[in-house]
Amino acid sequence: MREIANAPLSANAPWIVMKFGGTSVATVARWRNILELAATRRAEGARVLIVVSALSGITDGLKQLCTHTESKRRSEAAAALADRHHALLADMALTMPETLGARLADLADLAETGAGPLGELAWQARVQAHGELMSSALGAAFLSANGLPTAWLDARDCLASVALPNQNERTRLLSAMVEPHYDAELSARLAAQGEVFITQGFIARDEEGRTVLLGRGGSDTSAAYLGALLRAQRVEIWTDVAGMFSANPRQVAGARLLQRLDYEEAQEIASTGAKVLHPRCLSPLREPRVPLLIKDTNRPELEGTAIGPEVREHAPSIKAISARKGITLISMESVGMWQQVGFLADVFDAFKRHGLSVDLIGSAETNVTVSLDPTENLLDSDAIAALAADLARVCRVKVIAPCAAITLVGRGMRSMLHKLSGVLAEFGQLRVHLISQSSNNLNITFVVDEDVVDDMLPRLHELLIGAGALRTDDSLVFGPSWQALYGAGEQVLPPAQWWQGDIPKLLALAQERTPRYVYNVPTIRAQARRLKALSAVDRVHFAVKANTHPGILKALAEEGMAFECVSPGELAAVMAAVPESAPILFTPNFAARRDFVAALKTRATIGIDALHPIEHWGDLFAGRDIMLRVDLGRGLGHHEKVRTGGTGSKFGVPIEHIDRFLTLAHEAGARVIGLHAHLGSGILDAAHWGEVYSQLAALAERIGSISILDIGGGLGVPSHPGETPLDMTALDRVLKSVRQAYPQFQVWMEPGRFLVADAGVLLARVTQEKEKGASVRYLGIDTGMNSLIRPALYDAWHDIANISRFGEAATTMYQVVGPICESGDVLGSDRRLPESKEDDVILIGQAGAYGAVMSSRYNLRDEADEVLLP
Ligand code: LLP
């Protein structure tokens, strides 16, 4: 036996309520865990109240016992249940404690005599209460015997149920409610008695002193009631997972642990699908503002989910996406009676008569559609048919099932709608039966056919992260992914950024001068090697528009890259930096005749993306091999402004003009040897290049003279933490499979961003700070959209870090802004950083692509210089 020595507690030491469920109390090993955890809380200076469920399986056994009509069968059942407790007692090496003995004897009596004068329901409640009565008695003995003196407390002495007008005898006894009010007397009485207590979940007493049960999720609810009654410092729910996640981890392995939620959000997530917490247990805690913590019994070191009052300083973010299946929709069309008075009243009256509770409502002038949730209703086909028959008297009825409700949850949903276009587009491709936006501004729900949900959820989760709507960058709120915490095999860790290992060097560079771009050449080389490894690709061109630093061009030439240019300036930069042997491609858009004249003097292969040059300047191309850029009719990419296909975009020759182009080329004496397409920038789906490749190949077969297919660039790099990177193995596989079908063509690519984005950072220094309103804090730095225009132009997300305080806790929410006289001069909104001071060095990540090359001298601010780290 271990002695736990602690300083005595003062009379007003805070309470911590800890709840453990059925599996957590079923073995000695698990009880050792409880001992450890409770002892730690006590050692922290708190009074501890442990709330337990029945050993796993016991409640079901007790319910079973209640169904037997013969006394003998009931007694046998009671004896079997007693044996489970004897066995655990033996494992604990304990002799029978008096409290447990009394409970076992009581159960044997109840079983033998049956309901009798108690009445059936009251007897059932008494019998079923024994699961918790016995487990808690066992626990008190074990904890006390192992150095933590623990008093057994009868929950029925603390929790009194209230009779509600809509309850009948059954719900009053088997699904009772408690209205817990702070009970200073109870707290004082217990404080006088001891330091650590154990009591039962799930049970209470009614006004007549009878034992009542709290229904589904009862033990969580008991813990909440007791937490409220004692005004506990917190309630801890110990379970098998670390807490609530941003999606159901069984459907979305990348779902993130939600480390902080307010009561309303947590309630919303619990009621729209998450099983980890019963929604009923939050409301008792809200008013007394007692926080609730969900923790993993097996991994107590994990942070868990902390639920408490609203945290003001938060980026508006979607917190979770949840799905409920088995939803039935009832669509009711009023027959020709537009806005008829009383129509809704008639309709809802029918639902009431059939005892069906309505969840979502959508209405139009002549139609009302509502959803019925299976967790709130007993939805068998008879019940629905009876309702439909009844409704048919006042309207035309259509039943739509099975459906699923997909809900996005987050405080301030309306302020995020503009970020949801990608998500809405996804729903746009499906039959959406109903959209409902909650009046509390906490959720938006889409009702779709049930069978699409499983495929859709992981995709939606990813889209929400990519759109910056699910702010996984906020590490105070979003913890690790389920996969990282519990996934089997390889751990999916976010790739470490090179700059995190180079802080002193970066600080020294910033000391010399800011603003300043710094590029890490090994990162660029590594990316080049990943591209070279694509076995189906014959030639990779670096799209130099992403970064024209001569040192980078030189390094990429050494890695065997070719170069793609779009202007005489880029051609000159490349030729000055790389050896003669490096191939060059010139693929301009709306270039002047003189640009082609200049390019034709170089070794570049020329690409044309319009009829005009070949029609009007055909003489230039006589005897030349040229490439033709086609518009495949659609664009893709991270933002509308970087999608380069379709009639809305100025790039490429539309498919219907290809024949004309070929004729003109033939007349000019030029040979069209290659087809080229580039649909946009920042694409993360490997399948895309397979589609472009096969489309071009099919066109090329028809044309005949083609030997090269340039399938473009656009290879994306994730910018938001948690976004899934482009799968290079899948890309290799996709390209190889198309190549098998069309082995006659050479394949070229021309990525820009992929090669250089992660290699570059922009360093700047804090100039000023400013507060506005209660919680808006601006952090000014010495450069802005003049150096990096991507956030202003595309809402692009760049990681921001205060490297003068690297490793310090990011506690303050900032709007990071530059010195340019434009409201759009914001480099990052709602960024959590350490409390920052003037002259601190701020690093803006992923600035190697389209950073310096797109900078300007707007406001006549000096441009950032560029430094290479070899
Ligand atoms: N090929 C052509 C014909 C292009 O127009 C582009 C980019 C690329 C290749 C290279 O695309 P990448 O692999 O880098 O995605 N400024 C925007 C990107 C615009 C890209 C314009 N064209 C941004 O910062 O996101």
DSSP string of 708-753, one letter each residue: EEE----B----STTPPPP-HHHHHHHHHHHHHH-TTSEEEE--SH
Give 866 Cα–ligand 1 centroid separation in angstroms: 21
Query: Which residues are within 8 A (CB) of 83 and not within 5 positions of it... i.e. 6 or more apart?
Result: none
Q: Is 643 in the pocket of ligand 1 (CB under 6 A)?
A: no
Tell the residue number behind the tokens 């979003």, with chain if given: 478
**Which residue minimizes the CA distance to atom 2 of ligand 1?**
678
Per-residue DSSP letter, 114: -
Instruction: Provide, for the chain, the percentages of residues in helix, strand and coil under a 3-state DSSP scheme, each rounded to the nearest 5.
Output: 40, 25, 40
Q: What is the DSSP string of 70-81?
A: SHHHHHHHHHHH
- Range of lowest pLDDT (67-76, 143-152, 467-476, 699-708): 467-476
Mean pLDDT, range 140-151, rounded to an integer: 96
Identify which of 641, 748, 753 to mutate to test ligand 1's pocket (most ligand atoms within 8 A of the CB). Answer: 753
CATH superfamily of 758-869: Lyase, Ornithine Decarboxylase; Chain A, domain 1 (2.40.37.10)
Res. 492 pLDDT band, cuts 50 70 90: low
Q: Which of the pair, 34 or 344, is modelled with greater confidence?
A: 34
- Do the beta carbons of residue 740 and residue 693 sit within 8 Å? no
Per-residue DSSP letter, 13: P
What's the pLDDT tens digit per position in 753-764? 999 999 999 999
Whether residue 309 is preceded by a cis peptide bond, meaning omega within 30 degrees of 0, is no
Percentage of residues in the chain having pLDDT higher than 90: 76
Q: pTM to 2 decimals?
A: 0.81
Give 854 Cα–ligand 1 centroid separation in angstroms: 12
**Which ligand 1 atom sits nearest the alpha carbon of residue 790?**
24
Q: Is 712 in the pocket of ligand 1 (CB under 6 A)?
A: yes
Residue 611, token pair as written in the block? 């009829």
Give 373 Cα–ligand 1 centroid separation in angstroms: 47
What phi and psi, each to the nearest 5 degrees, are found at residue 69? -90, -25
Q: Which residues pair with 594 in a beta bridge?
A: none
Q: Is 546 in the pocket of ligand 1 (CB under 6 A)?
A: yes
Q: Is 49 in the pocket of ligand 1 (CB under 6 A)?
A: no
pLDDT of residue 413: 86
Give 278 Cα–ligand 1 centroid separation in angstroms: 49
* Cα 109 to Cα 117: distance, rounded to the nearest angstrom: 14
What phi and psi, each to the nearest 5 degrees, are found at residue 313? -80, 75
**Which ligand 1 atom sits nearest the alpha carbon of residue 638?**
25
Alpha helices, DSSP H, located in 579-704: 593-600, 611-616, 658-668, 687-703
**Which ligand 1 atom sits nearest the alpha carbon of residue 681?**
15
pLDDT of residue 721: 81
Per-residue DSSP letter, 601: T
Buried b (16+ CB within 10 A) or exposed e, 337-347: eeeeeebeeeb
Res. 373 pLDDT band, cuts 50 70 90: confident
Query: What DSSP element (H or E) covers 826?
Result: strand 826-833
What is the distance, to the nearest Å, from the Cα of residue 256 to the centroid of all Cα atoms in its chain? 5
Give 712 Cα–ligand 1 centroid separation in angstroms: 9
Mean pLDDT, range 178-198, rounded to an integer: 93
**Amino acid of residue 852:** A
> How many CA atoms, within 13 angstroms, populate the side-chain half-sphere of residue 870?
2
- The domain 320-486 is placed in CATH, from the list 3.40.190.10, 3.40.50.1010, 3.30.465.10, 3.30.2130.10, at 3.30.2130.10
Res. 489 pLDDT band, cuts 50 70 90: low
pLDDT at 476 over 80: yes
Mean pLDDT, range 225-248, rounded to an integer: 95
Burial of 623 (0-12, 13-18, 19+ CB in 10 A): exposed
**Amino acid of residue 861:** R
What is the distance, to the nearest Å, from the Cα of residue 31 to the centroid of all Cα atoms in its chain? 34
Neighbours of 13 (CB within 10 A): 17
pLDDT of residue 428: 80
Burial of 743 (0-12, 13-18, 19+ CB in 10 A): exposed
**Rounded to 5 degrees, what angle do the CA atoms 728, 731, 735 make?**
145
Tell the residue number behind the tokens 């154990």, with chain if given: 198
What is the distance, to the nearest Å, from the Cα of residue 23 to the centroid of all Cα atoms in its chain? 28
Q: Is 121 in the pocket of ligand 1 (CB under 6 A)?
A: no
**Which ligand 1 atom sits nearest the alpha carbon of residue 716?**
15
Residue 360, token pair as written in the block? 């979502």
pLDDT at 59 over 50: yes
Mean pLDDT of the residues in the chain: 93
Q: Is 681 in the pocket of ligand 1 (CB under 6 A)?
A: yes
Q: What are the DSSP E strand ranges found in 248-350?
A: 256-258, 260-262, 292-296, 305-308, 320-333
Give 478 Cα–ligand 1 centroid separation in angstroms: 32
Q: Is 563 in the pocket of ligand 1 (CB under 6 A)?
A: no
Of 132, 127, 121, 136, residue with least CA distance to 176: 121
Q: Catalytic site residues? A: 821
Of 239, 244, 227, residue with least CA distance to 285: 227
pLDDT at 4 over 60: no
Domain borders along the chain are 15-223, 320-486, 548-747, 758-869
Tell the residue number behind the tokens 């059932």, with chain if given: 124
Give 815 Cα–ligand 1 centroid separation in angstroms: 28
Burial of 133 (0-12, 13-18, 19+ CB in 10 A): buried
What phi and psi, each to the nearest 5 degrees, are found at residue 398? -130, 130
Q: Is 790 in the pocket of ligand 1 (CB under 6 A)?
A: yes
Residue 178, token pair as written in the block? 């408690």
> How many CA atoms, within 13 angstroms, populate the side-chain half-sphere of residue 126?
21
What is the distance, to the nearest Å, from the Cα of residue 821 to the centroid of all Cα atoms in its chain? 35
Mean pLDDT, range 446-471, rounded to an integer: 92
Give 265 Cα–ligand 1 centroid separation in angstroms: 40
Q: Is 852 in the pocket of ligand 1 (CB under 6 A)?
A: no
Q: Is 541 in the pocket of ligand 1 (CB under 6 A)?
A: no
**Which residue minimizes the CA distance to atom 11 of ligand 1?**
714
**Which ligand 1 atom sits nearest the alpha carbon of residue 629?**
3
**Which residue minimizes the CA distance to atom 19 of ligand 1?**
642
**Amino acid of residue 502:** D
Mean pLDDT, range 645-670, rounded to an integer: 95
The fold of the 15-223 domain, in CATH, is: Carbamate kinase (3.40.1160)
Q: Is 714 in the pocket of ligand 1 (CB under 6 A)?
A: yes
Largest CA distance in the chain: 109
Q: Which of the pair, 678 or 647, is modelled with greater confidence?
A: 678
> How many CA atoms, within 13 angstroms, populate the side-chain half-sphere of residue 511?
7
Per-residue DSSP letter, 829: E
* Cα 647 to Cα 486: distance, rounded to the nearest angstrom: 47
**Which ligand 1 atom sits nearest the alpha carbon of residue 752?**
14
Identify which of 545, 688, 787, 844 to mutate to test ligand 1's pocket (most ligand atoms within 8 A of the CB). Answer: 545
What phi and psi, each to the nearest 5 degrees, are found at residue 58? -70, -40
- Range of lowest pLDDT (413-427, 678-692, 727-741): 413-427
Q: Which residues pair with 760 in a beta bridge?
A: 519
Res. 188 pLDDT band, cuts 50 70 90: very high
pLDDT of residue 439: 83
The SS3 call for residue 84 is helix
* Cα 655 to Cα 646: distance, rounded to the nearest angstrom: 10
Q: Which of 260-274, 361-375, 649-663 has the highest mean pLDDT?
A: 649-663
pLDDT at 162 over 90: yes
- Do the beta carbons of residue 792 and residue 820 sit within 8 Å? no
pLDDT of residue 792: 97
Q: Is 587 in the pocket of ligand 1 (CB under 6 A)?
A: yes
Give 10 Cα–ligand 1 centroid separation in angstroms: 67
**Which residue minimizes the CA distance to atom 3 of ligand 1?**
678
* Cα 830 to Cα 415: distance, rounded to the nearest angstrom: 13
**Which residue minimizes the CA distance to atom 7 of ligand 1?**
681
Q: Is 751 in the pocket of ligand 1 (CB under 6 A)?
A: yes
* Cα 848 to Cα 517: distance, rounded to the nearest angstrom: 8
* Cα 397 to Cα 754: distance, rounded to the nearest angstrom: 54
Mean pLDDT, range 595-604, rounded to an integer: 98
Q: Is 642 in the pocket of ligand 1 (CB under 6 A)?
A: yes
Give 586 Cα–ligand 1 centroid separation in angstroms: 14
pLDDT at 282 over 60: yes
Give 755 Cα–ligand 1 centroid separation in angstroms: 12
Tell the residue number behind the tokens 């602690």, with chain if given: 6
Neighbours of 382 (CB within 10 A): 9
Q: Is 547 in the pocket of ligand 1 (CB under 6 A)?
A: no
Q: Is 683 in the pocket of ligand 1 (CB under 6 A)?
A: no
The fold of the 548-747 domain, in CATH, is: TIM Barrel (3.20.20)
**Amino acid of residue 241:** V
Mean pLDDT, range 390-394, rounded to an integer: 89
pLDDT of residue 1: 44
pLDDT at 483 over 90: no
Identify which of 681, 692, 717, 731 to mutate to test ligand 1's pocket (most ligand atoms within 8 A of the CB). Answer: 681
* Cα 323 to Cα 456: distance, rounded to the nearest angstrom: 10
